[in-house]
Structure 1
């Protein structure tokens, strides 16, 4: 069994980064439908298979004409051109009613908006059959109100670069180009588990001394927002033998294997900390990090007999400690691989006096708004309501014991935690 480690925050962050780097090396790609690609990263640079627009089309409801025919009196009106129809060639001296988005007929080089025509309405079928004529302005610019083929993007041009995060607008251009499927970077596959006989799944009835399991939902949502595919197995038993059997079964459930396993709870100095008891003899190192909350930590490559080796990260069990650990250690490592936007570290002015424990990085919750940080919830690591109301962490270095209202502090803005 390894001796317990004692690490700085930077040292443990480096350990997690190295573990994640090795676990996510060569993630590969997979092809998914556009509706499933939102939030995913494009695996390879994509060229346009066709032009947008695919042909010259009308920007307005109006008349398609040749500018050489303007100023010669009234023009004879021919059959209208609707969007979604092929356009017959336009003979000189004629004007074709054309709808927005309809293809420009050969022989026409401009569109006159219907508002500029006299009369300013299209003829009905009877009027058209009787021989309808229209008066148009004497001059117009070549190409006016025509969306030229390829004016948005030309066939073969780069549409999106590899690594682009796909959202509504980028998915929209792919759909407009007729692309129904796209190759995206494979999402890391994460097995998430919690431990503790005192934990009951949300919706279950509590027995004496029991509480509902917040960590599975909290960390699953955080991992999902960070671009991972999460499999949860609920709460594993606090018995070493049952925990080992359950973990082995859970590891076997991944069809293509897991990139990471994340646990919460069972890693401090308690008499029943089963995660530490079982895993310390199977490749996982445990110890403490100079941070509050989130001091107890564990990580390594799990080598459980009968299972493939897998990267394992153990977070403490208090919900705030687990979430702070995710934000400080794991999310930055995932962000490097998955090109997530970095959490902004901003200076802010503190609204009240605060005390801090020496020798540890203090991570306190609160709200950041317009350069002002307001603390919430104090140092306790079980206060979920304060965490839910927060959108930022204040980072108090290990040498600081007192902060005064109005002082400038370092603030890590996490938004809604997504």
Structure 2
């Protein structure tokens, strides 16, 4: 039998339950190794230590002249110009009293400990290679315009920690360290089921009391944007036996089932009825919108039941599934979190964590989009942020500081 919890749990408590539900999917036998570019957007599955120093050798930060700083007094001096040092070459040792033209990124000659930028030289241009020449240079301190070996990262140091989201910067670091492939967590497979006799596929004929399904598109696009593999089976009716049969057919091929609708306390809550006999709990979370939630397993496959109103199901995904996936598997990347000031006052229900839709503006304020209703899809479409009003806060004035998640 499914279980019903009458009291409302906190957002944090329900997120902990979701974390516990999905944690068993993070196992060593599911880790795969991918070429770097194929790993874009995935989560790193193991710590990566640097196998070498970066940079691997001391090199010039500027086009200029490599010198021994002790050769140049405070007032500057003339030095004999020797063979240039192009990038990628192994230079000769630098003899005392000489200066070597050196390119940005080129290896510092042994004996040289500073670089004088070409703009500070007289003349301020490189001589023709092979022709005898001198150059007048100002004094420089040891280390000027030199990138020391290991100044970025040293061999043996932690380059990237397990759970890191692999974006271009992270893949670039791995390439710089010589890696060609990387261990990552797999893409999770999600079965997404929308329910309701009142729901019609977009493009279909709307009869009396019917609405077009927006939940499927909202959640599937959110899930795909988060890097998940989504299977949809069309809209399930409000007949519990039909939904149960659909789940039995498809659940064995996925890692997680997500349903929308049918989790409240009404007389025709199909998800509740279809879960009869399975270890699924239906509870109320102290959150607006998105209070009714289901969590458990169907034939051993994890299940999350989101409410049926469009904004409620989207907020449920953002509050529970997306952050837990980021924490456990390193992908998707966490939502950026900022502090902003309200452009207008708001009210929040007692004892609930309210999530409002809003637009974060360049001046650091955030304005509300629409009301608190869970059906306001147009307001959601015009929002770029979620505004968080924590439990215990019933009103905020214009100018109050709030936590904002950037969508």
Q: TM-score, normalised by structure 1?
A: 0.75
Q: In structure 2, how many angstroms separate the alpha carbons of the residues matched to 1:62 and 1:288?
A: 68
Q: Is the counterpart of residue 261 in structure 1 residue 257 in structure 2?
A: yes
Distance 1:136 1:200, change over 3 A: farther
Aligned equivalent of 2:206: 208
Distance 1:394 1:133, change over 3 A: closer
Q: In structure 2, how many angstroms separate the alpha carbons of the residues matched to 1:292 and 1:68?
A: 70
Asked whether the equivalents of residues 6 and 289 of structure 1 are also in contact (C-alpha less than 8 Å), the reply is: no
Alignment partner of 2:20: what SS?
A: helix
Q: Is the counterpart of residue 282 in structure 1 residue 275 in structure 2?
A: no
Alignment partner of 1:25: what SS?
A: helix
Asked whether the equivalents of residues 359 and 382 of structure 2 are also in contact (C-alpha less than 8 Å), the reply is: no
Q: In structure 2, how many angstroms separate the alpha carbons of the residues matched to 1:278 and 1:262?
A: 14
Asked whether the equivalents of residues 394 and 412 of structure 1 are also in contact (C-alpha less than 8 Å), the reply is: yes
- Post-superposition offset of 1:364: 5.8
Return 153-162 or 28-37, whichever deviates more.
28-37
Give a deviation string over 1:111-139, Cα, whole Å, max 9, x none. Answer: 333233333222335xx3xx321132375
Aligned equivalent of 1:306: none
Q: How many residues align?
A: 394
Aligned equivalent of 2:160: 160
Distance 1:270 1:208, change over 3 A: farther
Distance 1:145 1:252, change over 3 A: same
Return 231-240 or 49-58, whichever deviates more.
231-240
Return 372-381 or 81-90, whichever deviates more.
372-381
- Post-superposition offset of 1:322: 1.4
Aligned equivalent of 1:34: 36
Q: In structure 1, how many angstroms separate the alpha carbons of the residues matched to 2:274 and 2:324?
A: 26
Asked whether the equivalents of residues 44 and 329 of structure 2 are also in contact (C-alpha less than 8 Å), the reply is: no
Q: 1:302 aligns with which of 269, 283, 298?
A: 298
Asked whether the equivalents of residues 23 and 311 of structure 1 are also in contact (C-alpha less than 8 Å), the reply is: yes
- Which structure 2 residue ranges, 5 or more long, are not aligned? none
Q: In structure 2, how many angstroms separate the alpha carbons of the residues matched to 1:199 and 1:367?
A: 27
Please tell me whether Structure 1 or Structure 2 has the larger radius of gyration of its CA atoms.
1
Distance 1:97 1:288, change over 3 A: closer
Asked whether the equivalents of residues 90 and 107 of structure 1 are also in contact (C-alpha less than 8 Å), the reply is: yes
Correspondence 1:12-23 to 2 at 5 A? 14=13, 17-23=16-22
Q: Is the counterpart of residue 316 in structure 1 residue 303 in structure 2?
A: no
Return 367-376 or 378-387, whichever deviates more.
367-376
Alignment partner of 1:191: what SS?
A: strand
Distance 1:75 1:252, change over 3 A: same
Asked whether the equivalents of residues 340 and 404 of structure 2 are also in contact (C-alpha less than 8 Å), the reply is: no
Asked whether the equivalents of residues 366 and 394 of structure 1 are also in contact (C-alpha less than 8 Å), the reply is: no
Asked whether the equivalents of residues 119 and 134 of structure 1 are also in contact (C-alpha less than 8 Å), the reply is: no
Q: In structure 2, how many angstroms separate the alpha carbons of the residues matched to 1:13 and 1:61?
A: 55
Asked whether the equivalents of residues 262 and 269 of structure 2 are also in contact (C-alpha less than 8 Å), the reply is: yes
Q: 1:392 aligns with which of 378, 381, 386?
A: 386
Alignment partner of 2:296: what SS?
A: strand
Give a deviation string over 1:124-172, Cα, whole Å, max 9, x none. Answer: 35xx3xx321132375434433322222222223323444444444443
- Which structure 1 residue ranges, 5 or more long, are not aligned? 304-308
